[in-house]
Amino acid sequence: MAEAAVPIVTQTLPPRVPAGLARLWARGAEFLGCPIVIMGGAMTWVSERHLVSSISNAGGFGVIACGSMTPALLDAEIKATQALTKKPFGVNLITLHPMLLELADVCAANKVSHVVLAGGLPPAEAIKRVKDSGAKLICFAPALVLAKRFIKLGADAIVIEGNEAGGHIGPVSTSVLAQEILPAVRDVPVFVAGGIARGEAIVTYLEMGASGVQMGTRFVCATECIAHPKFKEAFIRANARDAVPSVQLDKRFPVIPVRAIVNKGVENFMEKQRQVIAKVDAGELNAPAAQLEIEHFWAGALRRAVIEGDVENGSLMAGQSVGMVTREQPVAEIFAELIAQAAQTLSARTGS
């Protein structure tokens, strides 16, 4: 990982979970092995050892974002995280990574308890290696048909993420996905993500049948997060309408939309697409190489913003819930707020 300011990893006791909330997410708590069934979204350059271990230490479930790491880098990151927490955490692997199988082997060698495969249909061999290691397999499903397919392939749990989320997104909102998938998928736990930043929303999805939720944007401004102060300031200043999806310029090169706070970096991405399209039209690039060049733009742009603090030209990937990020807080305090909001909602509904 790149050098950055090293925050203090919290070792505080998790806030108490009221009985009503504990009952609602009991299945998720058993599956993840944590009392607060909130998964940390895997955000490249952000979800590393310090934030991940702090989320797990505070009672939630941290997830390392492998991103484009090599197997050696991932091995070091897992070991460093294990040195900071004895609580369960997971590792998110991108299915399009050219060394996916080797990364799965690294997770197995380090006895990672949960592996998340994201970014497309995972290869059968990757699923086999994860399952053979004894880890629980979690897959992202952007539609009901894919959720059912992943379960048949061996997924032990599903994450459904709506397009309110930050980073790469699908076309359907969280509320619609929840209505479509939660009533139809009962044989494995389902976690809901995208646009969640308050306890009231958590309760709503749990009551619809979710086993827990995943949150990313809210944790960017955690005290324990290594993101550059300027990156955090951009989140604190932003409103929901500032986080918008990227635009595809040429249907020959299907760009998975990326939701980010509007800045010059968004303009730079548009210009990058124009340059790549011109190279293809001139015969200087073939289609696969062009697609890869477009995707590589985001990795570098995100690092510039998160690590170097270039919030003008870098990528400010953020979900629409960014408008509810108002200050920097320790992870344990974020959890305490969410649980208090959820408890108040449940109390109001029962009249107790």
pLDDT given for residue 48 in this prediction = 98
Angle value at C-alpha 327, between 324 and 329, nearest 5 degrees: 110
Which residues belong to CATH 3.20.20.70 in the chain? 19-227+325-350
pLDDT at 1 over 60: no
Is residue 140 within 8 Å of residue 147, measured between CB atoms? no
Is residue 11 within 8 Å of residue 57, measured between CB atoms? yes
Per-residue pLDDT, averaged over 173-194, amounts to 97
pLDDT given for residue 3 in this prediction = 45
pLDDT top residue among 286 and 264: 264
Per-residue pLDDT, averaged over 241-251, amounts to 88
**Is the dihedral angle over the CA atoms 208, 115, 293, 44 positive or is it negative?**
positive
State the chain's mean pLDDT as an integer.
Answer: 93
Neighbours of 257 (CB within 10 A): 17
Per-residue pLDDT, averaged over 276-287, amounts to 88
Distance CA 51, CA 272 (A): 32
Cα–Cα distance list, 94 to 61, 63, 82, 121, 307 (Å)? 19, 13, 21, 10, 21
Q: Give the contacts of 232 (CB within 8 A, at least 6 positions apart).
A: 220, 221, 225, 328
Token pair listed for 123 = 């290869």
pLDDT top residue among 311 and 289: 311
Cα–Cα distance list, 314 to 138, 258, 309, 323 (Å)? 30, 13, 8, 20
Number of residues that make up the chain: 352
pLDDT at 42 over 70: yes
pLDDT given for residue 35 in this prediction = 97
Range 19-227+325-350 classified under CATH 1.10.150.530: no
* Pick from 74-83, 91-100, 108-117, 290-299: least confident: 290-299
Q: Which tens digit of pLDDT belongs to each residue from 45-59?
A: 999 999 999 999 999
Neighbours of 292 (CB within 10 A): 12
Q: Where do we find the tokens 């030209």?
A: 313
Token pair listed for 342 = 């959820």
pLDDT top residue among 253 and 309: 309
pLDDT given for residue 187 in this prediction = 96
Q: Which tens digit of pLDDT belongs to each residue from 313-347?
A: 999 999 999 999 999 999 999 999 999 999 999 99
Give percent of the chain above pLDDT 70: 95
Closest CA to 41 of 61, 12, 56, 14: 61
Cα–Cα distance list, 132 to 71, 126, 149, 190 (Å)? 19, 10, 19, 22
Distance CA 153, CA 255 (A): 27
Distance CA 208, CA 190 (A): 11
pLDDT at 192 over 90: yes
* Pick from 105-114, 126-135, 243-252: least confident: 243-252
**Is the dihedral angle over the CA atoms 54, 57, 58, 59 positive or is it negative?**
positive
Is residue 190 within 8 Å of residue 164, measured between CB atoms? no
Closest CA to 37 of 192, 185, 173: 192
Distance CA 158, CA 192 (A): 9
Token pair listed for 329 = 């807080």
Question: SS3 of 259, please?
Answer: strand
